[in-house]
Amino acid sequence: MTNIRTKAQIEKIKGAGRIVAACHENLRNIIKPGITTLTIDKFVEEFITSHNAIPAQKGYHGYPYASCTSVNDEICHGMPSRYILKEGDIVKVDMVVNKNGWMADSAWCYAVGDISVTAKKLMTVTKECLYIGICKAIDGNRLGDIGYYIQRHAEKNGFSVVRDFTGHGIGNSMHEDPAILHYGQKDRGIRIQEGMVFTIEPMINEGDYDLYVDKDNGWTAYTSDGSLSVQYEHTIAITSNGPEILTEQEF
Ligand code: MF3
Ligand code: CO
């Protein structure tokens, strides 16, 4: 069942979204060669708790950290570690904030120092995929329209869309109906309606979309071919004026 949220409820989710966005704005200045992904996670946890909110990923199905920090060929659910980021890496930082029972979710990709031309292009195209998907998230369209246009843009640029992870409804819990696929066919799927709140979070691979999950930690997904993967994610609300991004950062 898809929850339809009132304007007042959407404002609460936006309250959580502002904390997520502000945390990401800070990470731009923190992420550089020489720091560990655990340092990122420590900052995220302290930032969220200092805003009287809860890092909702910590403890979620036993996940032990406030953030996921996925480096290079790690698609998502990378575990913060003592790994020292080096020039040329890319790192995706994903977090969910629970503020007074309302949640917002956003992942962002950061370049560590100077990165390759390919990595830059993959970051640009993936961010475009996210915003193309958001533009299609209007009352009256169908969910398939979001996936179709994201897939088209990724593949037109020679990249592939990860199939095994999707966006999701969000509100009082982190993952609610419906699932938001980042590939598919237009005019298919359920109708998008005012009051829906969900994430769009395309994971786009440089090579093939095949993946495997780390057997030791049970969480981290890697590209099977070792190629780079990029993700950007926003939480959005469907309003009568179109999509409203609840986790938008200041530029
Ligand atoms: N934030 C992720 C998402 O976009 C969920 C991460 S799973 C967790 O859906 F266990 F790390 F929380
Ligand atoms: Co999400």
User: Would you say the CB of residue 77 lies under 6 angstroms from ligand 1?
Assistant: yes
For residue 95, report the distance from its CA to the centre of ligand 1, in Å: 7
For residue 86, report the distance from its CA to the centre of ligand 2, in Å: 27
User: Would you say the CB of residue 234 lies under 6 angstroms from ligand 1?
Assistant: no
User: Would you say the CB of residue 131 lies under 6 angstroms from ligand 1?
Assistant: no
* HEC secondary structure over 223-240: ECCCCCEEECCEEEEEEC
> Is there a contact between 203 and 151 (Cβ–Cβ < 8 Å)?
no
Where in the sequence is the domain holding 121, given as residue range(s)? 7-245
Q: Which ligand is nearest to the CA of 58?
A: 1
Of 99, 75, 116, 84, the C-alpha closest to 14 is 99
pLDDT score recorded for residue 73: 99
Question: H or E stretch including 204?
Answer: strand 203-205
> Which atom of ligand 1 is nearest to 199's Cα?
4
User: Would you say the CB of residue 206 lies under 6 angstroms from ligand 1?
Assistant: no
Which segments of the chain have a pLDDT < 50? none
User: Would you say the CB of residue 233 lies under 6 angstroms from ligand 1?
Assistant: yes
For residue 152, report the distance from its CA to the centre of ligand 1, in Å: 25
Cβ atoms within 10 Å, residue 56: 22
> Is there a contact between 165 and 203 (Cβ–Cβ < 8 Å)?
yes
pLDDT score recorded for residue 146: 99
Q: Is residue 251 part of a domain?
A: no
> Is there a contact between 143 and 180 (Cβ–Cβ < 8 Å)?
yes
Q: Is residue 230 part of a domain?
A: yes
For residue 31, report the distance from its CA to the centre of ligand 1, in Å: 20
Q: What is the CATH number of the domain that holds 38?
A: 3.90.230.10
Per DSSP bridges, beta strands 102-111 and 234-239 are: unpaired
pLDDT score recorded for residue 219: 98
* Alpha-helical segments (H) within the chain: 7-30, 37-50, 117-135, 143-156
Q: What is the DSSP string of 172-192?
A: SSSSEEEEE-SS--TT-SSBP
Q: Is residue 188 part of a domain?
A: yes
Q: What Rg, from alpha-carbon coordinates, does the chain have?
A: 17
CA atoms of 250 and 169, how far apart (whole Å): 24
Q: Is residue 223 part of a domain?
A: yes
Strand, helix or coil at 146? helix
pLDDT score recorded for residue 134: 99
Token pair 């959580």 in the structure block, residue: 16
Q: Is residue 68 part of a domain?
A: yes
User: Would you say the CB of residue 203 lies under 6 angstroms from ligand 1?
Assistant: no
pLDDT single digits (tens) 84-101: 999 999 999 999 999 999
Record the tokens describing residue 156, joined without a space.
Answer: 């037109």
Report angle CA 7, 4, 8 to the nearest 5 degrees: 20
Residue type, 246: L
> Which atom of ligand 1 is nearest to 201's Cα?
4
Q: How many structural domains compose the chain? A: 1
- Sign of the alpha-carbon torsion through 24, 29, 31, 37: negative
Left, alpha or beta for 173 (phi > 0: left; psi -120 to 50: alpha)? beta
For residue 183, report the distance from its CA to the centre of ligand 2, in Å: 16
Q: Is residue 1 part of a domain?
A: no
pLDDT score recorded for residue 68: 99
CA atoms of 98 and 12, how far apart (whole Å): 10
Mutate to test the pocket of ligand 1, among 68, 79, 180 (most ligand atoms within 8 A of CB): 68
Of 207, 184, 198, the C-alpha closest to 233 is 198
Q: Is residue 59 part of a domain?
A: yes
For residue 201, report the distance from its CA to the centre of ligand 2, in Å: 6
pLDDT single digits (tens) 218-243: 999 999 999 999 999 999 999 999 99
Q: Which ligand is nearest to the CA of 56?
A: 1
Q: Is residue 102 part of a domain?
A: yes
